[in-house]
Structure 1
Amino acid sequence: MLKKPINFKILILVQHVLAAFVAFALVFVFAGTSIIISGAKGDYSYTLYESDRNRAYEDSYLFNNILGNNLADVIRLIAIRSQLETAGEYDSEKTIDVTAYVNRGTTLPGDYVTAVYTVADLLKWAQSGFTYETRNFTEEESRSFLSERTTYTHLKNNLMSGGMNSYLSSGLSDNSVAFTVSGNSIPSGGTHNILVSRYQTTDGRNIEDLVSNWEEYSLLCSNVEEAAKTLLYNFEEYGKLLSYYGYQSSNLRYYISRTINGSTSVYTNISELSGETTGIDIKSVFEAYGRYIYYCPYELKYETNTLIKENVVRSFLKTYSYAYPDQIKVYVAVDTIGYPCSDDFYQGKSSFTKYMPYRTQILILCFVAAFIYILLFIITLKSPLVVSGSSIKTEIACLKNIIIMAVPLGAFVMASVLTQMSYMKMIRLENFPVYAALGAFVFNVGFLGLIYGIADKVKEKSLWKDSILRMLIIGAKNLILTTTDNGNVIIRTWIPYIFFVVINLCLFKIGLAGIVIAAFLDILIGIYLYRQNLDRDSIIKVIERIKNGDVKSKVDVSSLHSDNIALAEAVNSIGEGIEKAVDTSMKDEKLKADLITNVSHDIKTPLTSIINYVDLIKREDIGNERVIEYVNILDQKSQKLKKLTEDLVEASKISSGNISIELSKIDFVELINQTIGEFFEKFEKSGLTPIFKANEKNISIVADARHLWRVLENLFNNTCKYAFPGTRVYLEMYTAEDKEGKKKAFFSIKNISAKELNVSAEELTKKFIRGDESRTTEGSGLGLSIAKNLTIAQGGTFDIRLDGDLFKVIIGFDIAE
């Protein structure tokens, strides 16, 4: 298998880098044509024009577009300030004529119905919300609720230039006259929506005190609500714009004065010009900042060193004509001397200097990189092998590379969606070149892996050989061949089926008679299939009984049909064979148990004599110390052999089922306490400390008292023999439900083993298995086996768990009802 040379690894890496650079360059050039700049009202998208490449920033379209947006914002700000301020400061007690305010873009009639509130009351009312109550009125109740007279407002001077300045006229002091007129009709009864008056007018009246009919009431309520909500919206915008266009936060400087009925108001963010300006050449002050605009419509003057046209400024002012009479002066400038504030003008300059000088050079480098990429692609594609030979299937290799290619494409789609959803602050456009470079690098890894991988498999002639499609086709071919090899099954299944289908089709073409015949044949086939399945069902039932241990169960062959008879006879033969094997196994087990019992009995007789004579010798007065030692050894070994013989006989009886079980009700807690008492000396001799805990004082179980004592004796003896001296032995009894939901009593005994346990829990319960592999301790190796078998014979459970040197036995019995 040829491997990838080092130089090809470098060439492929260079291609990845070139692809990333091409993507970076293209997106950089694209991003240079559209940049995102944060302004007063959020993010704005601006276009960089190629014609600005050789211009200074202040002469560019970018600068003038930013200036145009700022100019529109400032004109909007002054219009709002005129609604909320007095003498250049916010005035919460300033009065608002709601009808004139709502109709500030139109001309009001000479006499109109209105209500006058303070700015603070309208703002608080809009913030808390407008509440209406639906009430039913009779004519008498309507006349009592509404005023008998309607209060009208008349503007003395409503002839200001501009044609739509009723709002400006309403704001002049002593320019309105209120008078009342008797209602010319009786207000009707019925259901009406009544506005809950949270606040009163400046003269302490409610809306119903100003009108004499329901039409005027509804219209005035609507005007109050609209004026309050609009004023609240303007108030929120007022705070943002005023803060953004502060002298310390914006490079834009403005000074706008307006004269209404001989009174001049000034709005500026330059503190030196907010007071008396006598002797100050305001125009020179703004020219000194750098770029400026001066506009005075009544003097027909417009001066600027920007690209902003007079008609642009006029259109901005016309939008808010209700706030700008003809007698205004507008001074706007941008402090281009170092741009002291980090505003949108500063951001624009940074983006302009970042993109404009390098766009052409980067575009040229982009084409060079693309040419080198194509050249390297051709060179590597013609090489003997680009990537190392692989045993990966063709489709899997292709899919892997396609997934790699899809990752950056998916990220691009997601970024585009988020951009369209106006999450502009989350995904900054100026960062797109870096994102594009990373995406192109990843995409190129997948692309080249796909192309070069396919090319290499073509060169190795393994494209089709390693294909999953080829494997599937070969597998299908082998399946067909294997199927057709079973000729007997094919003939007995498919040929009759095809023949049956053909007969049906032919009968259908005959007409109604053929359909009836076909239906009759179909019923016969259905009956045949039913009988076949019924036969198989009876065979399956016998197989289930044999599986559950009834090996003598037989299938009645006389009621079966066709090949089901052969199947049934085979099942009967299997049952007979299992029965013979079981009988043979049972005879072998009985013979083995009898052999052990008889041999043990034969050993027991001479062993008893040996023990008795050893006992007689021990009673004699023997002066030889060595003879005494030998006698003691004989005594120990004979006793051990006796114990082994007894255990062997007992184990044989248990395994052969030759024991009698007499179940009774036993106090399990009391039995454990008695056993602990009897083994107390052994525990002390072995240096062990028993600790017994029971969650109940009395727990009664169903077991055989004699055999249960034998189980506990074996467990306690096992602990005394094999537990580590000087440790505690934990004995615990508790009640719990088993897996079948039956309540049981469980007793556990756990200790630390003195010797390393190198056997599993299952092996410890086998015959002649001891934890002490050196077999230097007492014991036959049958204790745990006997204990487990006796426990199970009484209907209990026996479980051994090992955790390192921790040895734990858990036995469980049914709780007595």
Structure 2
Amino acid sequence: MKNEKKPMRNKRFLLHILQQIAAFGMVSGVAFLVLFSFVMDDSVTKRFDIFSEEKHFEDTDVFDEMLVNSLYSIIRYNVAKSQMEEGGRFDGTKEIDIVAFANRKNGEMPDSGIRYKLEDLLKWNQYGTASVLEDYTLTQFLDKYDDNQPFYNGTLTESQKNALRSKFMEEIYVPEDRVYYEETGTDAEVEEQPQTNVEVLNGALVGLQVTEAVPDEADADENTTESEYLNGYQGDALFEALLQGNSKLFTSEPYGWYRSLQEQVQALAVNVMNYGDAIAGIYIDTSSNTVHVLIPVLKERYKTVDGFSLEDYADNLSEYETYRYCLEQSISDLGYNYREYLHLKDAFGNGNTNIQFYFRMVMLGDKVEVSNLTKEISLDDMDNYFKTNCGRYVIYKPQNITLDTNTHILTVEEMFEAFSSYEYAYPDTAKMWIGVDTAYPVEDDFKMASETYDTFLKYRMFFVVLVAASVLCYGILFLYLSVVAGRIRDREGNVTVRLSWIDQIPTEIYLLFCVLVMAGIYVMTLATEVGRYNASYVAQYREQVICALAVTGTVISSLLCALWYSFIRRCKKGNIWKGSLLFLLFDKVVKRIFRGIKNIALHIYDNAGNLARALFLFGGIMAYNFLAGIILSRTRNDGVFVLRFIIFVLVPDALAVYGCYYNRNKKKELIEGIREISEGNLNYQIDTRKLHGENLDIAQAINSISESINAAVATSMKDEKLKADLITNVSHDIKTPLTSIINYVDLLKRENIETQPVKGYIEVLDQKSQRLKHLTEDLVEASKISSGNIVLHMEKIDLIELLHQTVAEFSDKLEERRLTIVDGFSGEPVYIKADGRRIYRVVENLFGNICKYAMPETRVYIDRELTEDGKYVILCLKNISAQPMNIRAEELTERFIRGDVSRSTEGSGLGLSIAKNLTELQNGKFNIYLDGDLFKITLKFPVYEEEKE
């Protein structure tokens, strides 16, 4: 047997080796196609099409994208260079008019005279900007920012009131030092300010608390002092009173303080409406009865070239806000442009790139040239130079709206759009020459991308085929080895599963090893991603990276395959749980302990009363929690207290709750069993195998009741069947002699015997024999109905025609009883679906009942009607009873009810019962109504509908 297994092992080992060789080829091929199909252009990834048909790098989309990006970068570089340099060198003393610079994209702006040194603005950008809140009285504010605005006295509009409310600070504030700084920008360095009684909390000024007491002006008199009034009117209440301006008491001289505050608030209304966000807040200084305005002012680190602050140039607050915006915008834009200037200067400097460019512009009569050409070339020879020395070139002259290029990526419209954002730097007189030396003498991104593409193009198809073949081989071997993993065939041909040495490792250690392997894969992936986005790293070590990835991928594949096949063998053997340390611990120790505790608890629970069971469960839980609390209280300062609390308290309590839930579910099963039995499923039995205690007792009682009821029902059905058989047999036995009697009576009647009283005797025999015949037929019919042994032949029946036939057949008896039929049913035919013989029996029994029990010389009403929807027909028969109706309507349809009440008239007591049962069997409804001596019967049948094909 060992000799048979050895070739099989060797075969599978060779298949495993072949699978990992396929993994090596797959990873190395994918790594080549990935690493050699992309290049880095200024930290941006650009990828070649794997199936590209271009033979030269210059014809690829990647080259076109790199050239366009370089074009845009050179355009921005020239703009930044014109802002930073003077005479070809960086000049920090260059003067910048902030208004003209901030509005440079909106057209040429006149010189505002507000100029800063370039170096000051760049340093300002580095430090960041800071805002300071300056505190002004209303008079100071108007003098400085709005000296042309007159005081406004009068009723404020709602919009003015709302604007003032939005700025009011909701506290009465009596500051000593009114300076508050707010930082903006990045890397801000703000000088520390001395703190007095100003408290800064969450970016808001905090003063006295607002009280809710608001006095009525009617409570004030001429003796009311300012402090008494302000003690009532605090904060927003006082400010609201000033907004309303409706005080009648405070108009005399002693209350000038109130009138002064009111005038100040009203005067401020127009300014708040005009300036909006330029005003940070408003508050009232009760010590001087003045309204104060807080204005956010830019903290100026540097003065203008003329030595002034920005505020000195503004005539009003709106103008200051405009200048402040221009200054902050200039600081931000120049800082960004300076960083881009340094980056692009290094990228496009002489000897650093294969791109050559020359820009020529005429601005304000001066010729401006920007170029990285190493030699001087006349303007007339410029076109020829770029076409001769550059494999790809772009020549654009906006003045002539001409574009000369041997690329296919740019149009005149695209070039115009590229320059449109920088019209202030590129006038219509500008001319541009840009080219790429496709010999690539300089080591830059273009040369690196060209070499990468050549290598990629050379080996592309080889690695594509390698990857496809490796994936196919790897997948087939993976599926095959997964199927045969662990399978061993003995001499008899039986297949068994055998575990290897790695499968003997406990499941927990196996899973931990899997996690470690996956973590290693994740770390390696992160390292690969970091290297993939480092252009210099990829350019220098592509081959080494491919080899490293292939070896690493093969090792990882080997580990994953070993773990996967081990998992497959464990699943086939069913060893996942049984081969774990937890199973050994649970099976050997915990399981036995719990089984013993469970048996003891169930024994006590099953043999105790209800109160004892409740006390046993409740007491057990409380005792356990008490002991667990004592033990945990001694280790409450331990770092694992929460974990112990969960394990020793929450988990057991959760199990107790689950036990209650389980017990409740079992009670639901008992209720479901009762419902099943009540609905007629007498064979239903409750499973008692997992029940305990009172649930077990109830379930056994329910099952016993079910069995008893089932036996009683079976006995009753048996008795009913015997009764029906007896009636049928007796009826048949009676029928034979009865037929003979009827025949002989008929023969006697044919003899025309006129002798009395013999003739009377013959008539009595005829009546009684006919009655006995009907009684026998009724018994047989009732027996068939009760036993269900009746077959209906449903067909289309004209109910109106049936009524006419029945009235005609009973005409003699109706005349004998002097009963008059009131016809309310004649008319169009009404069809129903019924058994012709049985429906006639129903109508016959109803008419027979009328002839027997209706009061002579009365009318019988027969009506028919259709329901509103036309789906049902209702037949109604009404007559006056000859005898008092001293029973309920429901009792009239019971069997033999006539015999139970009176035997003074002929009848079997089965007619109405048979009529009702036959009606219901034919999908109809049968109802009886009694109103004094009025006897009414209604029949309701569905109207026959033709079947649709």
Give TM-score, length-normalised by structure 2. 0.43
Give TM-score, length-normalised by structure 1. 0.49
